[in-house]
Every structure is written in C-alpha cells, then in structure tokens.
Chains A and B, each alone.
Chain A
Amino acid sequence: MVVKSQESRAIKNEDDIAVVRSSVKRVVALLNFSLVNQTKIITAASELARNVLEHGGGGEARIELVDEGDRVGVRLSFEDLGKGIPDFDKAMEDGYTTGKGMGLGLGGAKRLMDEFSITSNSPSGTKVSITKWQERI
C-alpha cells in the first residue's frame, strides 16, 4: 500500500470537527466515491473526531490517500492522548458510552467503513484508523 498524500488536522474544539469533515469531504470527492460512500466516510470521520475531542481531550486527525494498485482509498487516523480504552469489546458495543452521546460512534464508524482498527496504550492515548476502498476505474 502506497500513501500518495496526507494531511493532518488538529482537533481542539467543536469547530475543528467541522474542519475535519470538510477536509475529508474534499479528499473523498477527489477519489470519485459515490455520494452514499462520501456521506458514510464523512459521517464516520465526524464520529471519531468527536470521540477524540470528548473522550481524548483533543488530538489529531490524519487524512491519507492510499493506493493499492487495483484500488484506491482513503485512510483516516484519529489519535488522542486521553485516558485510553480499557475494554475494547465494551467500547465497541452499541449503546455503551462513558459520555453523554448515544454510544454508537465506534461501532457505527466500523460499519460505515471497510476497515477499522483500534489501538490503545491504556492508560494513555487511543488511535483509531479507518479505511474505505474504491475500485480503480
């Protein structure tokens, strides 16, 4: 897999989430994703960016354009230096939340994307990476 371009966006407040969304939107439009897939990717980005802000106390989003020859894609990584996640299974469960949200962010983001990975160096920091692929036309 070749990373063709990448950009980073800091997430420090609510407005930055909107900035992440619009950056992701620009990138996925470039890749000719269908409108449905564009919306899915942007929504997943929105969920994870909000997690970074609300549970991680802020962090960074990295947006990468990746290429595997027969398919191209977008990989989004969200990293924070928060408390970390002690129990992944629990965190992925729909409806489970330690905050005020619906508890659907992580599971939802996973369902909206093709690949999902989460690492947490509990007790500090969480990194979530998601990827969506598009067959090369």
Chain B
Amino acid sequence: MANDTMTSVATLMRDSQKEILADWVDQQLKDPARTQAVPESSLRASSNEFLSIFQEAIQKGNLDNMAAPEWEGARKMLSELSASRALQGSTPSETASFIFSLKEPLFALINKQLGAGNIASSEAIVRYSKVLDQLGLYTFESFQKSREAVIRRQQKDMLEMSTPVIKLWEGVVAVPLIGTLDSARTQIVMENLLQAIVDTNSKVAILDITGVPTVDTQTAQHLIKTVSATRLMGADCIVSGIRPQIAQTIVHLGIDIQDITTKALMSDAIREAMERTGWSVIRNTSQES
C-alpha cells in the first residue's frame, strides 16, 4: 500500500484529534475492566498526549518496527504510563486496554477517510491494527516489568528488615533470625553483625534461630561460618533457640557443632553472655513474687 495513504491517515488524525480523543476517552470510560484507580482527568490528559506522539510517529512512515527510533517517544510514554499505573493499582488488562481501545475510534476514522469496505481501508486497518497490537503488548510488558521491580524491591526490603542486630547489654549483641537462612541473608546478617560488634565493642554475640523453621546442612554451614567470623573479630558467639526437633535433626544429619555454644532459649543465652562479660543479675528479694 502506498505510504501516502499512511501519511494521509496521520494528517487526518492531526486534523480530527479532538474527535478521536473524545471517542477514545469514551471507549476507555465504558471499558468494563476499568477500575477507579485512574481518574478521568488524567486519563484524558495521557490519551491526548499519546495521540500527539502517535500521530507524529506515524507521520514518519515506519509502521513495521516499533523498536525503531521514530517510536522512542511513544515507547517512553507508554512505559512511564504503565509504571505509574502499576503503582496506582490498575489491573494489567485495564492498562493494556489503554492502547487496544484506540482501535475502534481510529478504524472509524480510516473508514471515514478511505471509504468503508474497500481494499485500501481494509489494508490500512490491518496495518494499524498490527501497530496498536505491538504497542499494546509493549505496554503490557512494561506494566509487568514495573510490577516485578516492585516485588524485587520488597524482597530486598524484607531481607534487610528481618535481620536487625540488637544491643542487649553493654558488650552483648543479638540477632533474632526469622525465616530461611539462605546465602543472601547470611551475607547480610554477617555484615550487620560484624559491624555491630565493632560499633558496640561487644564481646558476645547471640544468634537466635527460634524463627528459622528448617535447619538443613546449608543453614548449619551458614551458621558455622557466621560463628567463625564472629570469633575472628574477637567475640564469642552463642546460638540460641534450638528447639527439640531441630536438635534431633542436626544429630541425624551428622553435623558437628561441638565447638559452638548452643542454648535452648534466648534467655539462657543472655544469662551466659552476662556471665561471660562479668555481669550478674540479682533479684531483689523484697519484690520476689
């Protein structure tokens, strides 16, 4: 098909942008997938912006390759739009319909320009349909990527949130471990713990594994490494929170942890740590219950 037909569609779009916009926004508002996440005013604004960018891009005549530089503006706008919509809580279908709903008004316009039902208009419709499909998929993918980015950030936040180092007493720090002790988390625990030992000038560190559901050989290995690193810093390490089922499992696995001081309860570990640092806890007998 002649490219002048294509550019004439572009020209026509420019001339009747207002009508298309009205039609398109109408389509989007009618969409049953629409949630209230995006207000009508911003919907109208982004639709208008996209129409201008789209019109400019098709004017340049490249309708086959959406990765081409001509479409950079459109891609940039769509990925920003998807990112903001992913954060606002729009659904994926709603976000993708932003592009797909442009089909109807655009095809109506093409039919009006080239006459409905003839070869030229059907060809134009097929061609523009492909363009909008590609852009729609691009929008969908961008939406997905933004969601994934959110998940990755949350995972990272969770890793850091769940490994606080607490100063229990002068010279005593503790790390309550919760969840799975994988390599990434062990690395963070170790870094935080060793730094805390330096910062607080601690002599004893307590690693509490009450919140670790499974201790397999890898978890044990990570614990042993953390204990060794603590010792290299000149501090003692006590592992507490060993539940009966964990103790039996460790024995059956055949893991040798004889060098490591372990305690069933965190309170036992605290008592031990206080003793080692020269403190003693004395209960005031007059308040004994």
Q: Which of B34-42, B127-135, B194-202, B252-260 contacts A (4 or more CB under 8 A)?
A: B252-260
Q: Are A35 and B217 in contact (CB under 8 A)?
A: no
Knowing A36-B244, A94-B254, say if A108 contacts B214 (CB, 8 Å).
Answer: no
- Chain A residues near B213 (CB-CB < 8 A): 21, 42
* CA distance in complex: A104, B257 (Å): 13
Question: Closest CB of chain A to B115's CB: distance in Å?
Answer: 55
Q: Are B182 and A104 in contact (CB under 8 A)?
A: no
Q: Are B214 and A102 in contact (CB under 8 A)?
A: no
Q: Does B246 contact A (CB under 8 A)?
A: yes
Q: Does B81 contact A (CB under 8 A)?
A: no
Q: 0/1 per residue, B210-246, Cβ < 8 Å to A?
A: 0001111110110000000000000000000000111
Interface of A: prevailing SS: helix
- Chain B residues near A39 (CB-CB < 8 A): 214, 245-246, 248-249
Knowing A46-B216, A47-B216, say if A107 contacts B246 (CB, 8 Å).
Answer: no
Q: Does A43 contact B (CB under 8 A)?
A: yes
Interface size on A, residues (CB 8 A): 22
Question: Closest CB of chain B to A54's CB: distance in Å?
Answer: 9
Q: Are A101 and B245 in contact (CB under 8 A)?
A: no
Q: Which of A36, A40, A47, A111 has the most chain B CB within a 10 Å cutoff?
A: A36
Question: Closest CB of chain A to B186's CB: distance in Å?
Answer: 12
- Chain A residues near B182 (CB-CB < 8 A): 14
Within 8 A of A (CB), among B101-146: none
Q: Are B180 and A111 in contact (CB under 8 A)?
A: no
Within 8 A of B (CB), among A8-50: 14, 18, 21, 35-36, 38-40, 42-43, 46-47, 50
Q: Which residue of A lies closest to B251 (CB)?
A: A111
- Chain B residues near A46 (CB-CB < 8 A): 214, 216, 218
Cross-interface CB contact of B252 among A18, A38, A105, A108, cutoff 8 Å: A108
Residues of A within 8 A of B (CB): 14, 18, 21, 35-36, 38-40, 42-43, 46-47, 50, 94, 101-102, 104-105, 107-108, 111-112
A-B contact pairs, 10 of them (CB 8 A): A14-B182, A18-B180, A46-B216, A47-B216, A104-B255, A105-B217, A107-B254, A108-B253, A111-B253, A112-B249
| Pairs A-B, 3 closest by C-beta atoms | A108-B253, A39-B245, A46-B216
Q: List 14 extra interface pairs beyond A36-B244, A39-B246, CB under 8 A.
A: A36-B248, A36-B249, A39-B245, A42-B213, A43-B249, A50-B218, A102-B220, A102-B221, A102-B255, A104-B253, A104-B254, A108-B217, A108-B253, A111-B252
